[in-house]
Amino acid sequence: MPFYTCVSPKKLIAFLRSDHRFLSLPQLRSHASSSMLTMKKVTKKVGKYEIGRTIGEGTFAKVKFAKNTKTGEVVAVKVLAKSTILKHKMVDQIKREISIMKIVRHPNIVRLHEVLSSHTKIYIILEFVTGGELFDRIVHKRKLSEKEARGYFQQLIDAVAHCHSKGVYHRDLKPENLLIDSKERLKVSDFGLSALPQEGVELLYTTCGTPNYIAPEVLRKRGYDGGAADIWSCGVILYVLLTGYLPFEESDLPTLYKKVSAAEFSYPFWFASGAKSLLDKILDPNPQTRIRIDGIREHPWFQMNYVSISQGEEGDASLDDVRAVFDDIEDEYVMERSEEKVAPLTMNVFEMITLSQGLNLSALFDRRQDHVRRQTRFVSCKPAKDIISAITTVAELLGFKVIRRGYKTRLEGASVNRAGQFAVVLEVYEVATSIFMVDVRKAAGDTLEYHKFYKDFCGKLDHIIWKPKEGLPNSSIYKTMTC
């Protein structure tokens, strides 16, 4: 598996280890299974889990890479500060999200393993899904083939049907919340806006979700059926999978809402007739006549090569531990030891392999302008302090508020449509002597807006970004990376 046409992952791994030795595949697997990411300045353990680097960040939570020390299983840990939850009065919302994930156990839904708590934080232990977001797949391929799009849509409908059978409505279905695992299996995630049924209440009234995917009846604020609203979102997702763009997209919200309410959109001339027939029934602005799950499953286009995974998994639905995590418990669950960060964190081979989803490490250094993900990276041979200084200068030039903590920087600003906050986090890692990787990830805002930001930002950082044709500090290392 070459990197820049001629470099094998083994050579790159040897380069990153800076000892010029090539590892055999069995050695690499042995190393990966027996080692956890090593950080110079921070050691943290939560129960039986060793906590590693941040792999995602939102307004109220961080998602970290972790490893079960008893089984060796890699997991994702969603970390929430109790002070933040209390300050923003989010206790009920977090309880609901955890409760829902315990209730909806299905092969196409991200699994919740367990919930732990300390005096200051709540840790939600989740299945680690290695394939990234479905959104990234769409960006990379422009649009999916009809067969591939149908396969993902079938899995999405199975997952949504299972949620609805449990009385759970997701209310924020979009490609960014759909993950792909190593077996190409779709996984629904992020139940933060989901709703649970209340006795005697049939309609929902909270307006929530992402504007481009939201159902017309949700905008009317007169009560809506959560199931029908989810089906509309599934229809928008199917349209995006097949075309590579949104059916409803406007720069200002009033115009967008007007088009959504009237279901005002068009199909490209090449759009498959079978898919069009189904979408006409899904993107019906009237929720009373909109097709239901059973109707979708019976549609001829949907039925092609369909293998149902409609049955969920029976699990422990007791919510006693969910209530318990919000109480004061012994701090014996959490053992933390940290020092002041005076140097960038280091990243070892095990973490890099996991991060790159296999042995193809080129994704770690890929900054092609036509393939930008919500989480991207570039490499620099400049000193770490110079990298941070350059990032700060460019960010301030672009009008961002800069918040620095050691070698981690958060940039904050308003989104393009002024509808909310746009934020990006950049963190510097040392991957070899005098070689640094800058990890860039979206923390808040629209993913498409992040695409444009990343291209513009990297263009202004061009003087610090390493390019394949340039030499590296160690010329012998450079030889292992070039033809």
Q: Tell me what pLDDT residue 162 has.
A: 92
- Is position 386 annotated as part of the catalytic site? no
351 and 271 share a domain? no
The stretch 12-26 carries a mean pLDDT of 43
Kindly tell me if the per-residue pLDDT of 44 is higher than 70. Answer: yes
87 annotated as a binding-site residue: yes
Of 18-22, 60-64, 206-210, the poorest mean pLDDT is in 18-22
Q: Which residue among 158, 172, 225, 446 is the active-site one?
A: 172
The stretch 357-368 carries a mean pLDDT of 45
Residue 28 domain-assigned (yes or no): no
Kindly tell me if the per-residue pLDDT of 143 is higher than 80. Answer: yes
Q: Tell me what pLDDT residue 375 has.
A: 57
3-state helix, strand, coil in the chain (%, to 5): 35, 20, 40
Query: Dihedral sign, CA of 282, 255, 370, 427?
Result: negative
Residue 11 domain-assigned (yes or no): no
Q: What is the pLDDT of residues 412-431, one digit of tens each?
A: 887 766 566 788 888 888 77
What amino acid is encoded at 194 in this protein?
A: S
pLDDT band at 2 (very low <50, low <70, confident <90, very high): very low
Where a domain ends, among 238, 270, 303? 303
Residue 324 domain-assigned (yes or no): no
140 and 265 share a domain? yes
Residue 325 domain-assigned (yes or no): no
Taking Cα atoms as reference points, which of 11, 63, 18, 44 lies closest to residue 348?
Answer: 18
Quote the percentage of the chain above a pLDDT of 70.
69
What's 213's domain CATH number? Answer: 1.10.510.10
Residue 227 domain-assigned (yes or no): yes
Residue 197 domain-assigned (yes or no): yes
Residue 115 domain-assigned (yes or no): no
Kindly tell me if the per-residue pLDDT of 3 is higher than 50. Answer: no
Where a domain ends, among 271, 303, 335? 303
pTM for this model (two decimals): 0.62
256 and 364 share a domain? no
296 and 349 share a domain? no
Angle, CA of 474, 478 and 483, to the nearest 5°: 165
User: What is the Cα Rg of the chain in Å?
Assistant: 23
Q: How many domains is the chain built from? A: 2
Residue 177 domain-assigned (yes or no): yes
222 and 290 share a domain? yes
What's 460's domain CATH number? Answer: 3.30.310.80
286 and 366 share a domain? no
Q: Tell me what pLDDT residue 299 has.
A: 96
Q: Tell me what pLDDT residue 41 has.
A: 46
157 and 265 share a domain? yes
388 and 452 share a domain? yes
pLDDT band at 364 (very low <50, low <70, confident <90, very high): very low
How far is CA 256 from each of CA 176, 232, 378, rounded to the nearest angstrom? 20, 15, 35
| Other residues' Cβ atoms within 10 Å of the Cβ of residue 121 | 19
Contact between 171 and 193 (Cβ < 8 Å): yes
Q: Tell me what pLDDT residue 425 has.
A: 86
More confident residue, 207 or 290: 290
The stretch 175-203 carries a mean pLDDT of 73
The boundaries of the domain holding residue 213 are 134-303
Kindly tell me if the per-residue pLDDT of 344 is higher than 80. Answer: no
